[in-house]
Amino acid sequence: MIVVLGACTHAPASTPASTPASTHRGPVTGPGPATTAKPTGVKPTPTKPGDPVLPDIGCPVTSCAFHPGGGVYLTCLAGGAGVCFHYGAACTPPEGCMFDPSDRTYKTCKTAVEGTCAAWAGATCAPTTKCMVDPATGIYRHCDSPTNGRCPSYGAVCTP
């Protein structure tokens, strides 16, 4: 059985002055006979803060999605087919355009608190991605022509 562990790094508040490259070339231990790694002449390249540890696998991209059942915005950790199926902590959409479940429109939020809007700015808006939750189904769908904080006609499903 082979187990691969990886981690997504996040940029630290301050960048270290230098990161030394690994130069270990000693014996490799583990199941089976011990072997000695032969130098290849290629030195490992240190990664920069924020680079994925396993670039071929990458890091999941999260988003801030409206939870139709809870009436709150939460970090979407995993989703597909127009829905989020694994939620995380409360969040606020980056552009401040939030869905108001009371009147089923998107509005600019003046004061956001724990994934909900405590005070609306009054103006209607549409997310910059035009990926909007359909109030009738709770599924995120693309809206070609958002009007007054609503979508008159939804298109294909989109990633929340």
Dump pLDDT digits (tens) for 55-110: 555 667 889 999 999 999 999 999 989 999 999 999 999 999 999 999 999 999 99
pLDDT at 56 (0 to 100): 56
pTM of the model: 0.64
Instruction: Report the pLDDT value the prediction gives residue 135, as an integer from 0 to 100.
Output: 93
- Size of the chain, expressed as the number of residues it contains: 160
Residues 55 and 23: their CA atoms lie apart, in Å, by 21
- For the record, the structure tokens of 92 come out as 């606020």
**pLDDT at position 58:** 60
DSSP state of 42: P
Question: Distance (Å, rounded) from C-alpha 157 to C-alpha 83?
Answer: 9
As a whole-number percent, the residues of the chain with pLDDT over 90 amount to 57
d(CA 58, CA 69): 31
Residues 106-133 pLDDT 10s: 999 999 999 999 999 989 999 999 999 9
Average pLDDT score over the chain = 78
- Return the structure tokens found at 68: 């139709």
Where residue 50 falls among pLDDT bands split at 50, 70, 90?
A: low
